[in-house]
């Protein structure tokens, strides 16, 4: 894998984020894409041996486009500053919780486990599952293995409601969790970690540590 080339390409793209530059450097993009594809292929091959939900997935099923689909008029950059994939049953856009790998230079490479920006229907199902099974939810989010790999635990810094969701009381002991609009744990990797020989091993171990929590969300879904 040429992960060093992938990081270098993404750094150059960040400094030259235009369609004209990309057109001139198409072979460079294809080489960087191939490096990311190989990383995803190796991770999929490893995790699929213990997670049936991820069996039979190909890199093409899970890798995201580099081109932005939701660019606003205030965003002049046509391309994302990261390259990556969403590993979940049904592929990257399936309404499921899963694992999200992003490669980005300057220590911004990232692994997320859970679901980000779920639909209203998905949010309702997850909130209901937390409400019905709070002990299991808290056991999983506080599991020592999860916190060893994801020291910050379930992210509570993202978007959330200002009031309790409809149908839940303000006095609910789990109201702070029920207000969340995204449910996941994440961690960043330094560039040196991405380039280390054991990076795939690290990703696989981190995914395994998060799987019980991800399975909890998928049971709800």
The model's pLDDT over 95-147, given as tens digits with 9 standing for 90+, comes to 999 999 999 999 999 999 999 989 999 999 999 999 999 999 999 999 999 99
In the chain, DSSP assigns E strands to: 83-87, 98-103, 109-115, 183-189
95 alpha-carbon distance from chain centroid: 13
At 96, phi and psi to the nearest 5?
-140, 160
Kindly report the backbone phi and psi dihedral angles of residue 8, in degrees, each rounded to the nearest multiple of 5, phi listed first: -65, -45
Looking only at the bridges linking them, the beta strands covering 183-189 and 109-115 are antiparallel
**So what's the pLDDT on residue 71?**
59
In angstroms, how far is CA 115 from the centroid of its own chain? Answer: 8
**What is the number of other CB atoms lying within 10 angstroms of the CB of residue 126?**
26
Measured from the Cβ of residue 61, the count of other Cβ atoms closer than 10 Å reads: 19
Helix (H, G, I), strand (E, B) or coil at 84: strand
Kindly report, residue by residue over 7-33, the tens digit of the pLDDT.
999 999 999 999 999 999 999 999 999
Q: In the predicted model, is pLDDT for residue 74 greater than 90? A: no
CA distance 7 to 36: 10
CA distances from 121 to 15, 100, 184 (A): 39, 21, 17
Q: In the chain, what's the furthest Cα-to-Cα distance?
A: 59
- The overall average pLDDT reported for the chain is 96
Within 10 A of 134 (CB to CB), how many other CB atoms are there? 14
- Structure pTM? 0.94
């Amino acid at each position: 894998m040429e992960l060093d080339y992938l990081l270098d390409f993404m750094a150059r793209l960040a400094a030259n984020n235009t369609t004209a530059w990309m057109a001139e450097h198409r072979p460079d993009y294809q080489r960087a894409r191939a490096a990311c594809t190989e990383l995803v292929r190796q991770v999929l091959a490893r995790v699929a041996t213990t997670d049936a939900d991820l069996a039979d997935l190909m890199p093409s099923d899970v890798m995201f486009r580099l081109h932005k689909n939701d660019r606003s008029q205030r965003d002049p950059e046509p391309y994302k500053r990261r390259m990556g994939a969403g590993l979940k049953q049904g592929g990257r856009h399936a309404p499921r919780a899963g694992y999200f790998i992003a490669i980005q230079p300057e220590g911004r490479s990232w692994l997320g486990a859970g679901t980000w920006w779920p639909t209203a229907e998905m949010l309702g199902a997850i909130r209901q599952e937390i409400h019905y099974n709070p002990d299991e939810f808290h056991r999983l989010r506080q599991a020592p293995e999860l916190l060893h790999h994801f020291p910050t635990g379930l992210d509570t810094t993202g978007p959330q409601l200002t009031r309790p969701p409809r149908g839940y009381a303000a006095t609910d002991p789990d109201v702070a969790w029920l207000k969340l609009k995204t449910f996941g744990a994440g961690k960043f990797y330094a560039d040196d970690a991405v380039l280390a020989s054991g990076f795939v091993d690290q990703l696989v171990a981190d995914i395994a540590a998060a799987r019980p929590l991800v399975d909890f969300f998928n049971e709800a879904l």
